[in-house]
Amino acid sequence: MEGGLSGNTVVPNSNDKSTVLDVKPLRMLIPQFPDTSEGPPFVCVPPNGPFPSGFSPFFPFSGPQGSQSTPDLNQNGLISTILPIRSFRVENASPMDAAHGTHKQKLVASSSVKKKAKVDKGSKLSFTTPINFDPGISLSERDDGNRELVENVLSRFDALRRKLSQMEDAVELHSGIIKRSDLKAGNMMMSKGVRTNMKKRIGAVPGVEIGDIFFFRMELCLVGLHAQSMAGIDYIKGELEGELVALSIVSSGGYDNDAEDPDILIYSGQGGNAGRDKEASDQKLERGNLALEKSLHRGNEVRVIRGFKDAIFQASKVYVYDGLYKIQESWMEKGKSGCNTFKYKLVRIPGQTGAFATWKSILKWKEGVSSRVGIILPDLTSGAEITPVALVNEVDDEKGPACFTYLATAKYLKSFNLVQTTLGCNCHDACRPGNSNCSCIKKNGGDFPYIANGVLACRKPLIYECGPSCPCIRNCKNRVSQGGLKFHLEVFKTSDRGWGLRSWDSIRAGAFICEYAGEVFDSDKARQDDGDGEINEYIFYTNRLYEPFKWNYEPESVGEASSDATEDYDIPSPLTISAKNNGNVARFMNHSCTPNVFWQPIVYEHNNGAYLHICFFAKKRIPPMTELTYDYGTPCQNETEGDNTTSGRKVCLCGSPKCRGYFY
């Protein structure tokens, strides 16, 4: 160690073997530092600096470290630029290699070679990291976010995740290989700097609102709500006292965390669980457990994220941000395994918007709809839909909208030659992604439009689904829009915009919600008032002008060349759908200038004809009890009388920060 950090120094007269060096044994437990008389002074500085003149940081601490204080390297996840625990690299690696890095890893080379070889053999997917990829997020925005930035990061993550899922589904993989497009997408975004709120903080996170939902733990990391991709407790070392401080916890059912009061959480400490190679043991007062104990005495706020099963996709979880809590007390008790477990009682700070409490109420409504306050009808579809739709009014005494006949799908009064009729697919079981012989997949440009859970992968000018004329089975995954309602919806009375539509369930981005059902007319016929002198407000025009928006993934993010593929609608012939007298729940969706729902034209064949259907999909993740809205669009000139472009214009009350003030 002579010479401090100056490198390997040649000892004078090193060729003289008679010289005996005064070298300390390697097994000395106490570090030995040279005297000042033996050479240059020994420099001991934290990895992040500051460094004295003549010295510089060394790898991996040479990169920017953000704006936080010097971390304690003995604690997990305390450096904001380091990826969360058990995350993995994607540089020069296939996605399936990366997926294995998220599970219990053995860091012994000999034990991992065989697993890696199996992955490489089974996977045909390969990605390269773009050299000049611009994340569009500044260094300051990575440290401190805002609402628009948080939604942008989540939207880009989900677009990439859907594309990776679509690519995985199209590759026939060997059994035993795990698909984790969420982990791959999250790691790609982190490595490219597409994230925000990297600076750890106590309390609220900029841009994240109470009630926000997340479907993957990686999303919590990307927006800075909870930096640990696996551990349930996130913490830092305090700047002043140097003690651990708990920042957030995720209660996802791994322990016995429950309480009847939705504003109280009884949280079990971490550790001690039985694993594949170990027995259950007593929990220790260290790391996250110690941080919670210190925060109990410190009295700081702790963010709480609650996780539970997705009502629609039972194999998945939904995480809801439930706001800020304070730890009220702690104790130790015997757990189900018979070992000692730490328990912490957290109480929600009063005055916050309801989140988990809303979920608890919805569970009661599903058990008995009569418990829903303001219920008028338990099912306004009268059984036309598999999933009932409640009619609710908590605002006034109105007993419901004007009468109409419920239709589950569009009703064509005459045949329209929209596209050339072709033969159906030749799949006799179910259409499978990657099947180059499936004619329906060919009509979609070679891509299967939906991923495994029925979520739309990408927007397209026009999507082709299998129809009744196709020999494939009725639950073929290319018939998503024909399966009816999957979410528990309710039609409710708004305070200022008539009747609206919302869901009791959480909705994923790309999930099918409903079709715009009604009577299909040509444009001239639909503009009439049906002879009763009333304006038809329940009408959908396919030829209106709509604000363009990008929803699909960025090709550059997976190493592909920039694509000129358009997401604009391509409808062969304009149609108009009237839901005034005959329609479904879509007729109650209100307009918004920043909607959370978009429409997608879908064609499938029936009775030797190709028919167009307007289907609605979630534009982004939608929490329960959030109103569903879409953009009504702007009329073309031939839809208005003469040059009067203000004809039919109404005052918009959507409340969006980007509201244009009117709609049609």
Question: Is 520 found in the same domain as 422?
Answer: yes
Whether 291 and 408 share a structural domain = no
pLDDT at 573: 79
Residue 139 has pLDDT above 80, yes or no: yes
| Higher local confidence (pLDDT), 662 or 3 | 662
Compute the average pLDDT of residues 293-322.
Answer: 94
Question: Exposed, middle or buried: residue 453 (CB in 10 Å: 0-12, 13-18, 19+)?
Answer: middle
What's the pLDDT tens digit per position in 336-384? 888 999 999 999 999 999 999 999 999 999 999 999 999 999 999 999 9
Query: Do residues 295 and 429 both lie within one domain?
Result: no
User: Does residue 306 share a domain with residue 440?
Assistant: no
Residue 94: pLDDT band (50, 70, 90) is very low
Q: What is the pLDDT of residue 258?
A: 61
Instruction: Kindly report, residue by residue over 435-465, the tens digit of the pLDDT.
Output: 888 888 889 988 999 998 899 999 999 999 9
* Dist CA 327 CA 347 (whole Å): 6
**Stretch 385-392: mean pLDDT, rounded?**
96
Q: Check pLDDT > 80 for residue 561.
A: no
Residue 95 resides in a domain: no
In this structure, what are the phi and psi dihedrals at residue 474, rounded to the nearest 5 degrees?
-65, -30
Residue 607, CB-side half-sphere exposure with 13 Å CA sphere? 6
User: Does residue 630 belong to any structural domain of this protein?
Assistant: yes
Coil vs helix vs strand at 330: strand
Asked if pLDDT for residue 135 goes beyond 60, the answer is yes
> Same structural domain for residues 580 and 513?
yes
Neighbours of 544 (CB within 10 A): 17
pLDDT average, residue stretch 618-639:
91
- Sort strands 576-578 and 489-493 into parallel, antiparallel or unpaired: unpaired
Query: Is the same domain home to 444 and 302?
Result: no
Q: Are residues 452 and 558 in the same domain?
A: yes
Name the DSSP class of 153.
H
**Are residues 438 and 307 part of one domain?**
no
Q: Which helix (H) or strand (E) holds 617?
A: strand 609-618
Distance (Å, whole) CA 322 – CA 132: 38
Instruction: Report the percent of the chain where pLDDT is more than 90.
Output: 54
Say if 519 falls within a structural domain.
yes
pLDDT in tens, 592-627: 999 999 999 999 887 777 889 999 999 999 999 999
Q: In this structure, is residue 82 part of a structural domain?
A: no
pLDDT at 174 over 60: no
What is residue 556's predicted lDDT score, i.e. its pLDDT?
82
N- to C-terminal Cα distance for the chain?
78
Tell whether 405 is covered by a domain: yes
Among the listed ranges 282-291, 393-402, 605-614, which one has the minimum average pLDDT value?
A: 605-614
Token pair listed for 567 = 């997401």
What is the domain-level CATH number for residue 291? 2.30.280
Under the banding of pLDDT at 50, 70 and 90, the label for residue 639 is low
The predicted structure's pLDDT at residue 257: 57
Per-residue confidence (pLDDT) for residue 436, from 0 to 100:
83
Segment 159-170 shows an average pLDDT of 92
Provide the sign of the torsion angle of the four alpha carbons 356, 360, 362, 363, taken in this order. Answer: positive
What's the DSSP call for residue 444?
A: T
pLDDT beyond 80 at 183: yes
The C-alpha atoms of residue 73 and residue 370 are separated, in whole angstroms, by 55
Let me know whether 236 and 378 are in one domain: no
In whole angstroms, give the CA distance from residue 254 to residue 179.
Answer: 22
| Enclosing domain of residue 302 | 139-251+284-320
| 396 and 512 part of one domain | yes
Q: Which residue has the higher pLDDT, 272 or 60?
A: 272
Q: Which of 320, 346, 379 is the last residue of a domain?
A: 320
Q: Are residues 376 and 304 in the same domain?
A: no
CATH number assigned to the domain comprising residue 388: 2.170.270.10
Average pLDDT over residues 395-402: 94
Instruction: Return the pLDDT at 23.
Output: 46
pLDDT value, residue 24: 47
Query: How many distinct structural domains can be found in the chain?
Result: 2
Q: Is residue 305 within 8 Å of 321, Cβ to Cβ?
A: yes
Q: How confident is the model at residue 240 (pLDDT cuts 50, 70, 90)?
A: low
Do residues 462 and 494 lie in contact, with contact meaning Cβ atoms separated by under 8 Å? Answer: no
What pLDDT was estimated at residue 599? 97
Q: Is the pLDDT of residue 244 over 90?
A: yes
> Is position 104 within any domain?
no
Of the listed ranges 8-12, 239-243, 430-434, 519-523, the one predicted with least confidence: 8-12
* Residues 314 and 438 placed together within one structural domain of the fold: no
Q: Is residue 341 part of a domain?
A: no
Examine residue 338 and state whether it is found in any structural domain, yes or no: no
The average confidence (pLDDT) of the chain is: 80
